[in-house]
Amino acid sequence: MTLILDGKEPAKKIIDELTLEVEHLKAKNILPTFCVIEVGEDPASKIYLRLKRKLAKKIGINEQTIKFPGDIRQDELIDKIKELNADPHVDAIMVQLPIPEHINTRLVLEAIDPAKDADGFTPYNQGRMWQGQVNIIPATVRSIMTILDYYQLNVEGKNALIIGRSIIVGKPVASQLLARNATVTIAHSHTRKLQELTLLNDIIISDVGRAHLITKNMVKPGSILIDVGMNRENGKLMGDIEYDDCLPIAEAITPVPGGVGPLTVANLMKQVIILTKLRHNYGN
């Protein structure tokens, strides 16, 4: 019987643990403060930001959203980040992506102090991640690893295929699987004969954002399928993997919605607390 990798249960566990941690921090007069920078009017970002605000409030984190118009100059945005870097009351910072095309995303992310980098996107934190010195990793990647741990899925010695090579999921999750002794292959938009690769691998992690990308004839029996894709088709939310068709073939599979998604915001809040504790030398 296929194991359904539901993200709601482990997300609740994380939220309960964080709520207690925040109570302990506040008892020591430490108020975790998280600044989110929003640029422009991206509709998907607004949904995600609402979820962040709601969960931060529930846990007890002081979340502050700083909103800028879509035509803000790059230097103005970077100046604001530098101001937040220097603010002793701010523990964690993130810039909600995507940002308008006239702004260089790389330069904006590089401006964030690595000690306040809630997303784990700064070059410094990404480099430490590849060296195995992990405090902060991208929240979606932490969520994938949370699912593997919660459901006791051992990746050691297994072949893992990651489809997608972003700094948000693809590259960082490769580092985490390598650290657990998996053999990792990364596929992307220029990969040829994807099906030949998928059939060779015990684990498939897809983060492409293309519905029906992985069909049942591309899945090796007994494989672990983790779907990070988000697509809408005829009003229905779905991932990259054809869930219903692949379900009987897999050893384990994440649903969309309800798999990695519920964990991502919870793990972002976890990273805020990790940064807060490191900055205040609390419990470390």
Annotated binding site: 164-166
| Active site annotation includes 13 | no
Cα(170)–Cα(164) distance, integer angstroms = 5
Tell me 257's DSSP state. Answer: T
In this structure, which amino acid lies at residue 106? R
Say if CB 150 and CB 10 are below 8 A apart. Answer: yes
Choosing from 91, 113, 117, 119, the catalytic residue is 119
What residues are designated binding site for NADP(+)? 164-166
Choosing from 52, 116, 158, 277, the catalytic residue is 52
Q: How would you label 129-164 residue by residue, b for 16+ Cβ within 10 Å and e otherwise?
A: beeeebbbbbbbbbbbbbbbebbebebeebbbbbbb
Helix (H) or strand (E) holding 269: helix 261-279
| Active site annotation includes 131 | no
Cα(134)–Cα(85) distance, integer angstroms = 21
| Active site annotation includes 96 | yes
Q: Catalytic positions, please?
A: 52, 96, 119
